[in-house]
């Protein structure tokens, strides 16, 4: 049982207690019963108080919280007697009060302790005593120390005080160790008139926060330091704000509070009360606080309270950095080690460019993708895994940014990482040395571009933009596939394919320039140069490698088996002419639509942006699982004449009939029935030839098996009466009639299934787009389960 269950029972007990009266049919006759209910309510309230104390102790960083939460502690409650639990609750009350008093005293003596909450202090303690020698750079403690500008390698392990078991002594020892790392110059405690303006207020937008931060640092001539920035969130607790208040007041340097409007009203009230108390106690103490808000300051409780002290100064837009000065400061902080890489569309080689740059610098390549719903602590944890490589300066970081839902969070993360080389936006800190090259790749989809425009830093970074693919960067990444395709292209071009049988075992290797020229001639034809990408070229090579390999294995097209070798050339030329539908026929239209929406231009109609039967190539070919050809054509007259003559000859030999008509050999798909399409599609696998089939799950089994073991009902399997061709066709027709009640095949979904099959066989991912309810799932389910016997996940 969890606390929510207890809380609900408590509410019900209160309801019963309050509703008890003489007119209630559920009248409780016994005063004892009422006392039991009251005792239960008190019991739950004590449990709730204990949980709240645990939560507060955890935020305040008490080291014993882990011990208290261990499951070896139990309490008894017999006959409403839970005195032991009450004593434990009172003990926690005293423990929390004593710890908070001691913590605040330590904050005044050792400012560095104010940076840490939850268990961060003890993470540092663990690092100092257990991991500093040898230096472990992927430990969270190392990065916490770097975050507050303390060099871990300067801490001498042998001079550390003996680790105590008393929590207060342990806390003081950590404070002394951290304070000892600061430069021991003659510290002069500055004082000033109480009426001087100490609080600076900036009201700006989310995109203007970075400008406000840098302007305040610059105007007050303060070092640009990331640990002087405190980002408020909905989850920020009072204890964290209290620590910030002590840090701001006693450090005698500028600290900035960002987005305080996210804090609760109670925290606003506690913050101003504490700050007023410190000012009253040390009226001439020097401190500087900047508050950056994205709402009207008249609605900010914190500001309205501080205005009564007459110490608030508003910084207006004209007082902040102009665009030129902002750019200069950003470029000084970023230096030459950060590069932004963009492109007009995806697939133009951004990743290749980055990899090549990193290779030239002799650095280890680390790719770090960020997309979707981001959590800064998860990102920090992932970066910590690369701590050793990054700190050793032997690596370079490639940050691949996709579509992000929380652009504000990404904006803060990016400028903290690039400008300050460190961030801690929640609990986990990360440090990346300034000598580590960082490349940022931006997704080129319109939805991403909209969000990326809000990231101010990108406007001032060194950037490289790619407008089109650079053929000089072409690399032969898969020699067998590329050289088989290129050899076929060369043989088609010079027509040596008429007399030459090409296989993967007998292809000569061409030089890179020859490969490029041959691929250009075939790949670029009838394509819009604006939308040509490396991704399309990769698809082209994968698909045609699969097609040409199937062609070389197909017995129908062997040189010795053909009466007219011209058929080989005609078939291969037809395949090349159909390259658009194999390499994403609709992608260009979809991209145009996306950009039209982004630019508020007229969009292409949905029907023009999908693969359709009436827009496919007049003739093409797909090879089945046994490398038999499946011909796809709009009209029988679209079939090459050499193929017609060859198959007419085959047909006459097999049927012993002469004067065959074109429609007898190549029937018109427009008049095909569901059953005829099904008989074509079953050629893609061996499922309906020599297997037993379950008519419930359509799983395939060995021919001799009787029952299906996949279905709970152990369905009886069906199969052809024999392995004779006539029996197999009858069996396939019966299956087609059975399936027709669930899904009907048409020329449109027939061509889509063939193209999906071809891409899958080529090792390519398949993306199917369409409106809800247009049949995407049904099509894939039919192809996978009814035709190919693959499971749907």
Sequential DSSP letters for 184-219: -S-----B--TTS--EEEEE--STTHHHHHHHHHHH
Residue 289 pairs in a beta bridge with 199, 255
Q: Is the pLDDT of residue 106 over 50?
A: yes
At residue 792, the pLDDT reads 53
Q: Residues with Cβ < 8 Å from 580, sequence gap 6 or more?
A: 526, 527, 617
pLDDT band at 289 (very low <50, low <70, confident <90, very high): very high
Q: Is the pLDDT of residue 316 over 60?
A: yes
At residue 624, the pLDDT reads 84
Q: Report the distance separating Cα 451 and Cα 462, nearest Å.
A: 19
Q: Report the distance separating Cα 612 and Cα 748, nearest Å.
A: 6
Strand, helix or coil for residue 631 = strand
At residue 663, the pLDDT reads 74
Please name each of the domains of the chain with its CATH number.
3-104 (no CATH), 113-180 (no CATH), 199-321 (3.40.50.300), 328-467 (3.40.50.300), 477-553 (no CATH)
- Burial label for 443, CB within 10 Å (0-12, 13-18, 19+), is buried
pLDDT band at 246 (very low <50, low <70, confident <90, very high): very high
**pLDDT one-digit tens code per residue, 35-93:** 777 888 888 888 889 889 888 998 999 888 777 766 667 778 887 788 888 888 899 89
**pLDDT one-digit tens code per residue, 646-677:** 877 777 777 667 777 777 778 888 888 999 99
**pLDDT one-digit tens code per residue, 362-417:** 999 999 999 988 899 999 999 999 988 888 888 999 999 988 888 889 999 999 99
Strand, helix or coil for residue 705 = coil
Q: Is the pLDDT of residue 530 over 80?
A: no
Q: Report the distance separating Cα 270 and Cα 279, nearest Å.
A: 14
- Tell me the DSSP string of 377-392: HHHHHHHHTTHHHHHT
Alpha-carbon dihedral sign for residues 527, 531, 533, 536: negative
Alpha-carbon dihedral sign for residues 635, 636, 638, 639: positive
Nearest to 592 by CA among 608, 576, 614, 580: 608
pLDDT band at 293 (very low <50, low <70, confident <90, very high): very high
**Which residue is it, tokens 């009209």?**
635
Alpha-carbon dihedral sign for residues 124, 242, 205, 195: negative
Cis peptide before 134 (omega within 30 of 0): yes
At residue 213, the pLDDT reads 95
H helix runs in 282-341, sequence order: 301-307, 323-334
* Lowest mean pLDDT segment, chosen from 160-169, 313-322, 474-483: 474-483
Proportion of the chain above pLDDT 70, given as a percent: 89
Beta strands, E only, 643-761 = 692-693, 700-701
Q: What is the pTM of this model?
A: 0.80
**pLDDT one-digit tens code per residue, 556-588:** 888 887 888 888 888 888 888 877 666 544 555
Alpha-carbon dihedral sign for residues 294, 296, 297, 299: negative
Q: Is the pLDDT of residue 215 over 90?
A: yes
The average pLDDT across 704-722 equals 85
Q: How far is CA 47 from CA 53, 703, 785, in A?
A: 10, 66, 54
Tokens of 54: 């645990």
Q: Residues with Cβ < 8 Å from 406, sequence gap 6 or more?
A: 373, 374
**CB neighbour burial string for 769-779, b if at least 16 within 10 angstroms, e if fewer:** eeeeeebeeeb
Tokens of 521: 């001639």
The average pLDDT across 770-776 equals 86
Q: Is the pLDDT of residue 28 over 70?
A: no
**CB neighbour burial string for 457-495, b if at least 16 within 10 angstroms, e if fewer:** bbebbeeeebeebeeeebebeeeebbbbbbbbbbbbeee
Q: Report the distance separating Cα 434 and Cα 391, nearest Å.
A: 10
The average pLDDT across 85-102 equals 91
The average pLDDT across 262-274 equals 93
At residue 735, the pLDDT reads 92
Strand order in the sheet with 312-314: 229-231, 254-258, 288-293, 199-203, 312-314
Tell how strand 364-372 and strand 629-633 pair up. Answer: unpaired
* Lowest mean pLDDT segment, chosen from 376-380, 434-438, 466-470, 585-589: 585-589
The average pLDDT across 107-125 equals 92
The average pLDDT across 8-34 equals 65
Please tell me which of 395-409, 467-481, 710-724 the model is most confident about, judged by mean pLDDT: 395-409
At residue 602, the pLDDT reads 56
Tokens of 102: 């001691």
Q: Is the pLDDT of residue 22 over 60?
A: no
């Amino acid at each position: 049982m969890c606390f929510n269950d207890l809380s609900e029972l408590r509410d019900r007990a209160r309801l019963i207690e309050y509703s008890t009266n003489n007119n209630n049919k559920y009248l409780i006759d016994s005063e004892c019963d009422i006392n039991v209910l009251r005792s239960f309510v008190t019991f739950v309230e004590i449990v709730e108080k204990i949980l709240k104390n645990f939560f507060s102790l955890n935020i305040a960083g008490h080291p014993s919280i882990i011990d208290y939460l261990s499951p070896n502690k139990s309490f008894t409650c017999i006959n409403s007697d839970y005195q032991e639990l009450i004593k434990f609750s009172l003990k926690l009350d005293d423990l929390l009060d004593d710890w908070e008093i001691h913590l605040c005293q330590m904050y005044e003596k050792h400012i560095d302790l104010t940076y840490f909450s939850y268990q961060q202090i003890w993470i540092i303690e663990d690092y100092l005593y257990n991991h500093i020698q040898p230096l472990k750079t992927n430990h969270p403690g190392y990065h916490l120390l770097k975050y507050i500008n303390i060099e871990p390698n300067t801490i001498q392990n042998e001079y550390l005080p003996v680790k105590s078991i008393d929590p207060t002594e342990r806390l003081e020892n950590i404070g002394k160790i951290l304070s000892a790392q600061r430069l021991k110059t003659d510290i002069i405690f500055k004082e000033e008139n109480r009426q001087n303006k100490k609080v600076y207020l900036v009201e700006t937008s989310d995109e203007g926060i970075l400008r406000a931060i840098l302007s305040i640092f610059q105007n007050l001539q303060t070092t640009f330091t990331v640990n002087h920035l405190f980002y408020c969130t909905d989850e920020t607790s009072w204890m964290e704000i209290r620590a910030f208040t002590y840090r701001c007041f006693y450090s005698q340097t500028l600290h900035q509070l960002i987005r305080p409007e996210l804090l609760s009203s109670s925290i606003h009230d506690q913050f101003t009360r504490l700050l007023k108390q410190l000012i009253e106690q040390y009226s001439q103490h020097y401190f500087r606080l900047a508050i950056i808000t994205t709402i009207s300051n008249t609605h900010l409780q914190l500001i309205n309270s501080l205005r009564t002290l007459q110490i608030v100064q508003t910084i207006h837009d004209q007082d902040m950095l102009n665009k030129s000065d902002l750019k200069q400061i950003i470029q000084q902080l970023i230096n030459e080690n950060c590069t932004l890489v963009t492109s007009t569309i995806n697939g133009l080689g951004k990743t290749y460019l980055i990899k090549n740059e990193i290779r030239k610098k002799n650095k280890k390549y680390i790719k770090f993708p960020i997309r979707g719903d981001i959590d800064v602590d998860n990102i920090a944890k992932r970066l910590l895994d690369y701590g050793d490589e990054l700190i050793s300066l032997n690596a370079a970081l490639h940050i691949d940014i996709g579509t992000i839902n929380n652009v504000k969070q990404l904006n803060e993360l990016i400028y903290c990482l690039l400008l300050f080389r460190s961030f801690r936006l929640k609990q986990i800190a990360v440090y990346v040395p300034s000598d580590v090259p960082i490349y940022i790749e931006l997704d080129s989809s319109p939805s991403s571009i909209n969000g990326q425009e809000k990231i101010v830093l990108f406007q001032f970074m060194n950037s490289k933009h790619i407008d089109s693919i650079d053929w000089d960067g072409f690399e032969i990444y898969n020699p067998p596939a590329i050289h088989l395709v290129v050899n076929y292209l060369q043989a088609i071009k010079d027509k040596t394919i008429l007399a030459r049988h090409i296989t993967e075992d007998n292809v000569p290797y061409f030089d890179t320039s020859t490969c490029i020229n041959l691929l250009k001639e075939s790949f670029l034809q009838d394509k819009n140069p604006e939308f040509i990408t490396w991704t399309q070229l990769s698809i082209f090579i994968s698909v045609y490698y699969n097609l040409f390999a199937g062609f070389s294995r197909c017995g129908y097209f062997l040189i010795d088996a053909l009466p007219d070798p011209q058929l080989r050339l005609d078939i291969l030329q037809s395949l090349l002419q159909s390259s658009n539908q194999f390499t994403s026929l609709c992608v260009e239209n979809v991209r145009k639509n996306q950009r039209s929406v982004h630019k508020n231009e007229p969009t292409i109609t949905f029907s023009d942006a999908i693969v359709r039967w009436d827009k496919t190539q007049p003739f093409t070919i797909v090879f089945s699982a046994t490398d038999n050809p499946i011909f796809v054509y709009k009209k029988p007259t679209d079939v090459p004449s050499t193929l017609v003559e060859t198959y007419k000859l085959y047909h006459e030999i097999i049927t012993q009939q002469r004067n065959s008509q074109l429609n007898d050999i190549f029937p018109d798909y427009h008049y095909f029935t569901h059953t005829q399409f099904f008989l074509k599609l079953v050629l893609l696998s061996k499922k309906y030839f020599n297997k037993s089939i379950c008519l419930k799950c359509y799983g395939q089994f060995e021919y001799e098996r009787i029952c299906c073991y996949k279905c709970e009902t152990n369905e009886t399997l069906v199969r052809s009466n024999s392995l004779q061709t006539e029996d197999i066709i009858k069996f396939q027709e019966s299956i087609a009639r059975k399936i027709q009640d669930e899904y009907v095949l048409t020329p449109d979904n027939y061509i889509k299934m063939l193209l999906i099959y071809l891409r899958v066989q080529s090792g390519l991912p398949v993306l199917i787009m369409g409106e809800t309810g247009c049949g995407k799932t049904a099509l894939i389910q039919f192809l996978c389960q009814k035709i190919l016997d693959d499971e749907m996940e």
